[in-house]
Amino acid sequence: MNIIVCVKQVPGTTQVEIDPVTGTLKRDGVSSKLNPYDLFALEMAFQLAEKTGGTVKTLSMGPPQAAEALKETLWMGAKESVLLSDRKFGGADVAATSMALYLGVKSMGDYDLILCGKQTTDGDTAQVGPELAERLGIDHAANVLRIHEVTEDTVTADIDLDTAVETLKIKLPCLLTIDKDTNTPRLPSFVKKKEIEGREEIRVLAVKDIPEADESTLGLKGSPTQVERIFPPEKNSDKLILNGTSEELAADLFGILTEKKYI
Ligand SMILES: Cc1cc2nc3c(=O)[nH]c(=O)nc-3n(C[C@H](O)[C@H](O)[C@H](O)COP(=O)(O)OP(=O)(O)OC[C@H]3O[C@@H](n4cnc5c(N)ncnc54)[C@H](O)[C@@H]3O)c2cc1C
């Protein structure tokens, strides 16, 4: 079974600045780590590949430093990694992110299964996986807790529906997003790291390297949602206590709301 795992490098700190012009996170030069949710997807992929004799490849979109996250996946046992990295991919919302990953997947050859984390710790939308599956035209299921069985053309998995667990049989190839705490993620292997350090195979693709890429669908340009302003919500601790009969209270309230132009 050939598996592609999408992994994102996320800020390793809460001290992150927001670009005042684009409203997006300034990722360059910020200490970073692999999105913790993606570790569960990676572990599930390695276990499945070990059972079925397949390979695991990893894919990421991010600034050049995201190669560090991909190296970790190679030290864990991934066979090959692709990094989509170009200023033109920057500032992407879910639509543009899933478009870039779609192009990345298309460049990685045949696959049976794509695994994503359930969500990230920075963007946190949990929509990239399902949207990527839609773009690829394959079935998908979110919040997978465990995989029971894999046959040549199906995968049977438990899905967390919050109040119930549903068991689904899904046609391959498909995309699954993996819930947290579904396994114990392995650490990068020191031996593997020493074996391949400095020779890690990370294929870096810029937009110009992808003939079918349409710049108008990528990065900030291709993002229908753009952040206009980010600000902490105003805290208002002013209090006003009204006394009187119901009629007096209603009249007072009406007066205040009218004065503040709420009605
Ligand atoms: C303050 C702020 C506000 C934002 N507002 C919006 C908004 O309103 N609308 C909007 O669409 N976007 C918005 N974004 C951008 C958006 O959140 C993401 O950066 C981008 O869309 C990726 O989605 P996610 O991080 O939510 O991924 P999720 O959907 O939470 O990630 C799920 C999984 O998809 C995979 N994945 C996600 N990103 C990547 C990647 N780059 N490379 C490889 N795999 C990946 C991983 O497996 C991950 O576990 C905002 C970002 C910020 C910082």
Task: Note the pTM of the prediction, 2 decimals.
Answer: 0.85
- The pLDDT of residue 14 is 67
Per-residue pLDDT at 109: 95
pLDDT tens for residues 56-69?
Answer: 999 999 999 999 99
Quote the pLDDT of residue 83.
Answer: 98
The minimum-distance atom of ligand 1 relative to the CA of 96 is: 21
CA of 60 to the centre of ligand 1 (A): 12
Give mean pLDDT, residues 136-162.
96
**155 falls in which pLDDT band (50, 70, 90)?**
very high
Pocket lining for ligand 1, CB < 6 angstroms: 6-8, 24-25, 35, 37-38, 59-62, 92-94, 97, 101, 116-117, 119-120, 122-129, 225, 227, 230
State whether CATH 3.40.50.620 applies to domain 3-217: yes
Q: For residue 145, what pLDDT is reported?
A: 97
What are the pLDDT digits (tens) for 15-50? 667 777 776 777 666 789 999 999 999 999 999 999
Query: What ligand 1 atom has the least distance to the C-alpha of 94?
Result: 21
- The C-alpha atoms of residue 118 and residue 139 are separated, in whole angstroms, by 16
Q: Which pLDDT does position 30 carry in this prediction?
A: 74
52 burial type by CB count under 10 A (0-12 exposed, 13-18 middle, 19+ buried): middle
Residue to mutate, 4, 8, 35, 82, ligand 1, most ligand atoms under 8 Å from C-beta: 8
Q: How far is the CA of 195 from the centre of ligand 1 (A)?
A: 33
